[in-house]
């Protein structure tokens, strides 16, 4: 089964940044904990200074690492991911802020290797690095790793920076893509998505309506909504025809496990 075939299943649950209610987000532990508790996991990817794709959400490292406590890095504040090499990032702890346990930086290569071993579907969100790196450099580095690990069938690529999405199709036409959208839908939504050649649309929960979902599904797009922690809202969205919801909290192996946690 590949990612698009997965969308034939109803009521899909996506682990937002992995199982982040149990483990520090975007770490290997969060992916391990998400297995069997979700239909697919979502992770965020950006490039290091030496162009290595790593799994982290924020553009800077202060929230999810101990970098602010390390004197050797104090001159690098505000500690952008793109200002440090992988070797430097490997000196940081990405777990103690969450539960006191050490967790190393997760590279995309390690995440893909684990996904292949566990047969875990991964939604890879490409963070916008257009102000630092050329678009084709970002996309090429990520696609190359996916192809090298032979995980094309397990991956969907998404981004808020929509210019990456047609490039993804140019590098690997068989990997599905999705446009992420917050605050307001683009004008002429359906034609716009068609110009991007995407397979899915991932809107913010606040801007998702029954009419929008119906129009998207009629046009052949899959719809996955973020971030939905309320069980009643999840059920409502599924009743409208939404394929999947991204959630911050996972419990069991079936879908009657919704648990609301603070954002």
Cα distance between residue 219 and residue 13, in whole Å: 23
CB within 8 Å of 87: residues ≥ 6 apart: none
Per-residue pLDDT reduced to its tens digit, 193-231: 999 999 999 999 999 999 999 999 999 999 999 999 999
Within 13 Å and on the Cβ side, how many CA atoms surround 79? 20
64 inside domain: no
101 inside domain: no
- The pLDDT value given to residue 255: 41
CB within 8 Å of 70: residues ≥ 6 apart: 91, 92
Distances (CA, A) of 258 to 38, 47, 89, 229: 11, 33, 34, 7
pLDDT band at 259 (very low <50, low <70, confident <90, very high): very low
Mean of pLDDT values over 37-65: 98
Please report, for the domain that includes residue 175, its CATH number: 3.20.20.190
- The pLDDT value given to residue 256: 39
Residue 85 token pair: 């090499």
170 inside domain: yes
84 inside domain: no
CB neighbours of residue 207 within 10 Å: 13
Per-residue pLDDT reduced to its tens digit, 150-181: 999 999 999 999 999 999 999 999 999 999 99
Residue 33 has pLDDT above 90, yes or no: yes
- The pLDDT value given to residue 252: 63
Cα distance between residue 11 and residue 139, in whole Å: 30
158 inside domain: yes
Residue 258 has pLDDT above 70, yes or no: no
Domain residue limits at 45: 3-59+107-247
100 inside domain: no
121 inside domain: yes
Whole-structure pTM value: 0.94
Cα distance between residue 159 and residue 145, in whole Å: 17
Residue 2 token pair: 């590949």
**Is the peptide bond preceding residue 78 cis, with omega within 30 degrees of 0?**
yes
CB within 8 Å of 197: residues ≥ 6 apart: 165, 166, 169, 177
Mean of pLDDT values over 99-125: 98
CB within 8 Å of 258: residues ≥ 6 apart: 229, 230, 231, 234, 247, 249, 251
Three-state SS for 5? helix
CB neighbours of residue 206 within 10 Å: 9
236 inside domain: yes
State how many domains the chain has: 1
CB within 8 Å of 252: residues ≥ 6 apart: 37
- The pLDDT value given to residue 260: 34
């Amino acid at each position: 089964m590949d990612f698009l075939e997965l969308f034939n299943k109803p009521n899909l649950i996506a682990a937002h940044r992995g199982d982040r209610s149990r483990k520090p987000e975007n770490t290997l532990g969060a992916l391990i904990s998400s297995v069997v508790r979700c239909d697919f996991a979502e992770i965020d990817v950006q490039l290091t200074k030496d162009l290595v794709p790593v799994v982290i959400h924020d553009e800077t490292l202060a929230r999810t690492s101990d970098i602010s406590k390390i004197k050797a890095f104090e001159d690098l504040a505000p500690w952008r991911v793109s200002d440090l090499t992988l070797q430097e990032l490997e000196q940081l702890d990405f777990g103690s802020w969450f539960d006191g346990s050490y967790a190393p930086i997760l590279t995309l290569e390690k995440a893909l290797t684990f996904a292949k071993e566990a047969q875990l579907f991964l939604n890879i969100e490409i963070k916008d690095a257009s102000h630092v790196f050329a678009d084709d450099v970002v996309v090429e580095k990520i696609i190359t790793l996916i192809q090298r690990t032979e995980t094309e069938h397990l991956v969907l690529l998404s981004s808020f920076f929509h210019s990456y999405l047609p490039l993804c199709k140019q590098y690997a036409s068989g990997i599905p893509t999705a446009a992420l959208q917050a605050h307001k839908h683009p004008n002429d939504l359906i034609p716009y998505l068609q110009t991007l050649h995407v397979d899915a649309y991932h809107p913010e929960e606040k801007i998702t309506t029954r009419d929008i979902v119906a129009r998207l599904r009629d046009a052949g797009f899959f719809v996955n909504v973020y971030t939905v922690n309320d069980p009643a809202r999840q059920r409502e969205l599924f009743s409208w025809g939404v394929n999947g919801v991204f959630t911050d909290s996972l419990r069991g192996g079936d879908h009657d496990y919704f648990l609301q946690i603070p954002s």
